Chain A
Amino acid sequence: MALSTDSSTDRDSREKITIQNVSRSYESTQALDDVSFSVSEGEFCCVVGPSGCGKTTLLRAIAGLDDPDGGSILVGGDPVTGPGLDRGMVFQEYALFPWRTVRGNIRFGLDRPACDCPDCEGRVRELIDLVGLDGFEDAYPKELSGGMKQRVGIARALAPDPEILLMDEPFGSVDARTRDRLHAELLDIWTQTGQTVVFVTHDIDEAVTLADRVIVMNADPGTVQSTFSIDLEHPRERTARDFVDHVAQIRDELGSPVDTNH
């Protein structure tokens, strides 16, 4: 897999994403209020918080899809001015192009502006294999289950070989068992590609399962409340003592039982 390998040397040292004093308000709500933190290169960073805490707004701002009112966002040292192929995005409701097959969806980002991959078809096959969708190359999204759709979503985002993968509650609409499997697969892919991942969720278990570091946000106004390093080996056992402790700690931090429906 000829994905980004340049990050293998010093994974945690360099800052990949820097968020400085970012604010964003909509008509009546302060979605983001003076939010600052940074994500290191190759880090898997989860952002948790109740709905309305601006975590999705933050992710969209990093993607260049939303323009904050104040503050700045740097990616690799350069300010974000719009969307770019260096940042792949995986959407909550998949956002697959329904008129394109699995292959056509994954191929989309390779054709814009023009693919410089020597063998685009090969690259698409490789990605289909990576997300385990062999045999479904010519299926349309309507023929796929939620979990399969999101596999396509991930493969499509990975296709242009972005340095950063932005994921907006990607597994919120799939059943628990599929979600567990997708977690394992995502961690595999992340280990293989060494990408920087920012993963938004409201599920604390999910965050502790995946992340190197968890950023806890508060709602109205949306602020960063605290950050937690999760120094556990993968795969993580949800019943393990350390795991349970981390979850409890974050839940305490969030105050009221914000989310217990998993």
Chain B
Amino acid sequence: MSTQTDTSSNALTAKTFEGDLRRYLRGLGGLLVFLLVWWVGAMTTQPSYLVPGPLDSVRAFIDLFATSTAIVVPILGSSLVLPTGLAHLAQTLFHYVPGLLLGATCGIGLGLAMGWNGAFDDWLRPLVRVLRPIPPLAWIVFAIVWFGIHHTGAAFIVFVGAFWINFYGAYGGVEGVSTELTDAASTLGVERDLSMLKLVALPSAAPQVLTGFRTSIGRCWMIVVGAELFGAPGVGYEIINASNNLAMATSVAYMFLISLAFLCMDVGFRLLERRVLAWR
């Protein structure tokens, strides 16, 4: 009897393994087909800068790490020498990270406050309705006149983008807190509104808050590149800078660098999320 169960569970494991393998092979196939189409496209297009080929792009990517560039660390003012690719990535992070963190903090804060407090919600909801649809990049004009298009200005744009995504994550999360749980907490001695927020609403909204933050990680990469196209230093600026010199392969290399940076952050955050939300 038990051996039978063993074999069937083994068979099940083998089956899922087979399924995984098939998925990976298909994924690999898709990539190869894309590379082939890209390669053929690059071969047959003239002039050659219109579509830089895969090999040229890889070469350009490697070149990003073969040379060094000095950058200035904001606030500290000291200069830092890094491989060129990392140097420009660091420049981007100098405004991406503060913009993201500050925007997320403020967005989550306002989302919690509005989702939790009805009066506050009444006061601000129309304002939110009006301001929310404005694309973050539209604020670039104010970023420029208020801060100048450098780190602060770019950080401001990222801030706006991170703000709204995190705002809605927190707002929806707190609004969806079940009254059963708040009832249970009140019968167990939770009296003050703030305690209820901390002990029930916040943990209960955590999945949505974290999803909001993870979404904003990706969205802010789009926004940051947009801001840099206007002249803030970083990988986005390097994309347009390289293309101005018709070094399209280098532009592609920076595009890959962004993709890689995003993937690392996304995977890292997913791992963190899985640990924090182990109870789900």
Contact = CB atoms under 8 A, between A and B. Distances in A.
Given A93-B180, A112-B190, A112-B195, A98 B280 contact: yes
A109 B185 CA distance: 8
Nearest to B200: A97
Interface of A: 60, 63-65, 82-85, 87-89, 91, 93, 95-101, 108-109, 112-113, 140-142, 156-157, 159-160
Contacts of B127: none
B279 A160 contact: no
14 contacts: A60-B183, A63-B187, A85-B188, A88-B187, A91-B184, A97-B184, A99-B203, A100-B203, A108-B185, A140-B278, A141-B279, A142-B280, A156-B184, A160-B188
A140 B279 CA distance: 6
B186 A99 contact: no
B51 interface: no
B144 interface: no
Contacts of B84: none
B207 to A, nearest CB: 9
Interface of B: 178, 180-181, 183-191, 195, 199-200, 203-204, 206, 278-280
Contacts of B185: 97, 108
Contacts of A112: 188-191, 195
Contacts of A83: 186-187
Contacts of B180: 91, 93, 95
Contacts of B279: 98-101, 140-142
Nearest to A60: B183
Nearest to B206: A99
Given A95-B181, A97-B181, A85 B203 contact: no
A157 B184 CA distance: 9
Given A99-B204, A140-B278, A142-B280, A87 B190 contact: no
Nearest to B178: A95
A108 B196 CA distance: 12
Contacts of A82: 186
Given A65-B183, A91-B184, A99-B206, A113 B278 contact: no
B200 A109 contact: no
A144 B129 CA distance: 42
A65 B186 contact: yes
A108 B188 contact: yes
B176 to A, nearest CB: 13
Nearest to B181: A95
A65 B187 contact: yes
A160 B186 CA distance: 13
A98 B200 CA distance: 10
Nearest to B190: A112
B95 to A, nearest CB: 34
A108 B229 CA distance: 52
A101 B187 CA distance: 19
A96 B23 CA distance: 39
Nearest to B185: A108
